[in-house]
């Protein structure tokens, strides 16, 4: 019998794979188009509505279990009697693929960063994101960290602590012997400027740190409205010269901050690209984690051949008004 339509129950949940909710988040029915042999559903955007990302320097694993229960109906509108319904189970990240990756690409299942290099200030510890299902151990210099996967969504992305002044990270497969990725660490001594830590959600759905080491400039942009008022006192028919005719109201401002990476190698271009494409970016500023927006909207990729020494200057805007108007 030919396929006529399907019904989909979509469950999106936290915890262990067996912690299935009593009711699905979505119930979808779809008919087959007469000229097609199959039925296609896009569930990615539906799932993303249930992944809310927050960051306060705490590096939490934001993943979800997905259970899709699909019932197939034949041309007589009866459920198929063989292997029906079908159940599909996935782990979901708030990541993305590029156009050239093709349809529904599966991203890296080990180290959750693209670059093979990390820059960290001297005497400063760091964080390194990995996917627990695909990693057996992480070796930082000569120290091994064994990775265990409890199956809970709150630890599918694990952030391995990088001790201060480390030099190299090696990520191994679940067999503990197959080397999957090597990342070099550069410890930067910056005696003049204050390094700022930028954290963003990268293409793998993991928090990634990028330090900006060189010159920083800040700018306050103020906006307001004006009105003209009558300052004459009716009783005396005079006015006070210390009172202005024109007055401001709805005054507020937004702070912009311009940061420089300092000299980095060409391999870091992928990190800068993912920063520009991220919807979630924060800065560690005056001992607080504050949301910012990349204000720079274009990126000229630099290379050692064309530019010799590579430094990126990036404009950011704090994602809130200077005067608190949260109600």
Q: Answer whether 195's CB lies under 8 Å from 186's CB.
A: no
* Per-residue pLDDT band at 82 (split at 50, 70, 90): confident
Note the pLDDT tens digit of each residue in 210-248.
999 999 999 999 999 999 988 898 888 899 988 888 999
Provide DSSP, 198-238.
Answer: EEEE-TTS-EEEEEE-S--EEEEEEEEEEEE---EETTTTE
pLDDT tens-digit map of 92-105: 999 999 999 988 88
Instruction: Mention every residue, 6+ apart, whose C-beta is less than 8 A from residue 287.
Output: none
pLDDT digit string, tens, across residues 256-305: 999 999 999 999 999 999 999 999 999 999 999 999 999 988 999 999 89
Residue 85, pLDDT > 70, answer yes
Q: What is the dihedral sign for C-alpha 324, 325, 326, 327?
A: positive
| SS3 at position 262 | coil
CA distance 304 to 264: 10
Contacts of 74 (CB under 8 A, 6+ apart): 1, 2, 3, 4, 80
Q: Band of the pLDDT at 1, cuts 50, 70, 90?
A: low
Read off the pTM: 0.92
* Cα-Cα-Cα-Cα dihedral sign, residues 219, 207, 167, 263: negative
């Amino acid at each position: 019998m030919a396929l006529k339509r399907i019904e989909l129950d979509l469950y999106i949940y936290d915890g262990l794979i067996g912690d299935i909710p009593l009711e699905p988040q979505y119930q979808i029915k779809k008919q087959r188009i007469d000229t097609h042999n199959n039925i296609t559903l896009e569930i990615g955007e539906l799932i993303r509505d249930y992944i809310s990302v927050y960051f306060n320097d705490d590096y939490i694993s934001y993943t979800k279990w997905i259970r899709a229960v699909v019932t197939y109906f034949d041309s007589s509108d009866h459920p198929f009697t063989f292997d029906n319904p079908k159940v599909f189970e996935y782990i979901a990240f708030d990541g993305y693929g590029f156009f050239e990756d093709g349809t529904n690409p599966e991203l890296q299942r080990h180290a959750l960063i693209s670059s093979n290099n990390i820059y960290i200030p001297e005497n400063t510890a760091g964080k390194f994101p990995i996917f627990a299902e695909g990693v057996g151990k992480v070796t930082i210099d000569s120290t091994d960290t064994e990775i265990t996967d409890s199956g809970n969504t709150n630890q599918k992305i694990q952030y391995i602590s990088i001790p201060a002044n480390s030099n190299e990270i090696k990520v191994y497969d679940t067999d503990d012997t197959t080397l999957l990725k090597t990342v070099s660490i550069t410890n930067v001594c910056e005696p003049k400027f204050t390094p700022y830590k930028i954290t963003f959600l990268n293409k793998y759905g993991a928090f990634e740190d990028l330090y900006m080491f060189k010159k920083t400039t800040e700018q306050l942009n103020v906006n307001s409205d004006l009105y003209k008022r009558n300052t004459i006192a009716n009783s005396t028919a005079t006015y006070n010269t210390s009172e202005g005719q024109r007055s401001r109201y709805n005054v507020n401002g937004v702070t912009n901050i311009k940061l420089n990476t300092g000299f980095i190698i060409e391999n870091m271009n992928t990190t800068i690209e993912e920063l520009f494409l991220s919807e979630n970016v924060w800065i560690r500023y005056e001992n607080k984690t504050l949301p910012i927006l990349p204000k720079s909207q274009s990126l000229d990729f630099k290379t050692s051949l064309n530019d010799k020494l590579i430094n990126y200057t990036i404009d950011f805007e704090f994602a809130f008004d200077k005067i608190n108007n949260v109600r």
